[in-house]
Structure 1
Amino acid sequence: MTGAARPPTTHLLYLHGFRSSPQSMKAAKMATWAATQPGLTWWCPQLPPSPAEAMALVREGTRDWPVDRRAVMGSSLGGFYAAALAGDGGWRAVLINPAVHPARDLAKYIGEQTAWHDPQTRFFFRPEFIAELETIDAAARAAAATTARRMQTWVAQGDEVLDWREMAARHAATELHVLEGGDHALSSFDDHRDAMLRFLRLPHDSHPPAERHACD
């Protein structure tokens, strides 16, 4: 219905980055918060190395989620996946230092890799995964015109892994917050979480700012 208010979000997905896991700082903080929210369905899966398999996993796992009540948060490569997932429709998405050229940037990681939070865990990042990333990227770019309004992007100028200018340019049409300094992990996550929750239509403590800024 035109002009109808969207119902509050009841299902929240979190997607971690390359070599990361549900044990990442932001994922763990969100899991702790989600456990205090009655009625909220929370899911932060361990993503497989294959981008195609990762997208298939989250699509299958959220297949029965209500389209008008679902949201996703993603960091780094997870932010790239979240932006692509938004193209499926219905999703509101928060992207945190999102990868924007993963096919280019991850090509140097082809081969055996170790998991960030458990160095004893090893996996292979295969050459064919680059083509999978390119396929996902093409679809996300094709849908960008209709998905931008449902995405909020957080970019740290001090990101030591990704170029903040590329991230800001790719997601300029979203609700974009460019932060001075900072890092790839967004160590200041706690300072911005309420703004993220508010955008996702989830319970939050702070009140909306008096005015919005492109740089926050």
Structure 2
Amino acid sequence: MLIYLHGFLSSPQSFKCQLMRERLQAQYPHVTFCAPQIPPYTEEAQKSLVALVEDLLRQSDRGPIGLVGSSMGGFWCTYLGERFRLPAVLINPAVRPARFIPAYVGKVLKPYSGEEEEFRLTLVDVDAMQRVQAKLEKPLQSCYWLLAQRGDEVLDYRDAQDFYQGQRQTIEDGGDHSFQEFARYCDPITEFLFNEQ
């Protein structure tokens, strides 16, 4: 099973998520695809993602589980990867989200994907994120592949490069936060997570 975790203010309808889903359906039909809607609130997100993985791990016929996450989804993949020892591919991941969440506190936020929902983060979310972040200590115990582009205008790729030191890394010149030409990595990601050839 491949679990894809979208970024902050994004959704399972994101471009990369849909690309990954379509490629698996076409080329790896035996790999089940799962892309949960991640709540914007830290504690809700943490609890829902942990419950999802725990439920999957209880299923005797599930096969191996691999994680893929973009931006904030990359942070959550690392959290789950460390907690459950699952391999993960991280695409322009957020490394220390507790640093940027305060900028959103009190503002009316809407998903990029166009849903009507609105929400506001509070200091409770900042405190919760600091607690979650504090649990991710190096050296990392699971197996990761960092995909980053130096042209990321939202997150500094050097933070991820440093945090995932010693792990597999592919860092490209140019690009942007959405990770340009992501489709060329769908097959290598599947191979990395599941040893597919």
Change (3 A) 1:193 1:31: closer
State the aligned residue count: 191
1:110 has 2:100 as partner: no
| Counterpart position of 1:52 | 43
1:126 to partner: Cα distance: 1.9
Which stretches in structure 2 are left out of the alignment for 5+ residues?
A: none
Counterpart selection for 1:63 from 32, 54, 63? 54
1:121 to partner: Cα distance: 2.5
Higher RCO (Cα < 8 Å, 6 or more apart): 2
1:167 has 2:152 as partner: no
Q: Which moved more, 1:26-35 or 1:72-81?
A: 26-35
Question: Which protein is richer in strand relative to its size?
Answer: 1
| Counterpart position of 1:89 | 84
Counterpart selection for 1:74 from 69, 74, 82? 69
1:138 is aligned with what amino acid? A
Which stretches in structure 1 are left out of the alignment for 5+ residues?
A: 1-10, 205-216
CA RMSD of aligned residues (A): 1.8
Q: Which moved more, 1:118-127 or 1:96-105?
A: 118-127
1:131 has 2:127 as partner: yes
1:114 to partner: Cα distance: 1.0
TM-score, normalization by structure 1:
0.82
Change (3 A) 1:39 1:64: farther
Q: State the identity %.
A: 31
1:66 to partner: Cα distance: 4.3
1:186 is aligned with what amino acid? F
| Counterpart position of 1:15 | 5
| Counterpart position of 1:180 | 173
Q: CA contact under 8 A between 2:23 and 2:186: conserved in structure 1?
A: no
| Counterpart position of 1:3 | none
Moved over 6 A (4+): none
SS in 2 for 1:57: helix
